[in-house]
Each structure stands twice: as structure tokens, then as C-alpha cells.
Amino acid sequence: MYWTLELASKLEDAPWPATKSELIDFAVRSGAPLEVVENLKEIEEEDEIFESIEGIWPDYPSKEDFFFHEDEY
């Protein structure tokens, strides 16, 4: 399983919190790339409820990880 920012961004509008099967259903219905669906299928925790993309990909960068300050512009 591998995640990139582009692949993970396809799950930003997912109905969080969600289970593995709900995320797979969302990815298929929203037309996410096949890699997203394959990554979700590789998740071992069948019944776990994920609160956000960080539950799936702990290294997902947050807004704080970028050095852009909206109040400066």
C-alpha cells in the first residue's frame, strides 16, 4: 500500500468517520483512481472506524506542515 498526496486527496470529501467498506464504496462511487480502491482494500482492520485520512495514512501532511500563512496575504 502506498499513498501520495494526490491519491489521499481523493478521500478528503469522504463521509468521515467511516469504516473500510464505506471508504471503498465512496471511492468507487466518486470515481477515485483504482490505486485508491486497492490501497483501501489492503487495510487489515475490517471493522475499525477511521476518523480521518490520518487514521489510514498517519503521515498525511496537515495545513500546519506547509509554510504558507494565509493571514500574510
Residue 33 is predicted with a pLDDT of 96
- Euclidean distance between CA atoms 45 and 6, whole angstroms: 23
pLDDT mean over 60-64: 68
Q: How confident is the model at residue 73 (pLDDT cuts 50, 70, 90)?
A: low
Question: Which of 65, 64, 3, 48 minimizes the C-alpha distance to 11?
Answer: 3
pLDDT mean over 58-73: 64
Residue 32 pLDDT greater than 80, yes or no:
yes
Q: What percent of the chain has pLDDT over 90?
A: 56
Residue 2 Cα distances to 10, 64, 70, angstroms? 14, 22, 30
Mean predicted lDDT score pLDDT of the chain: 86
pTM listed for this prediction? 0.81
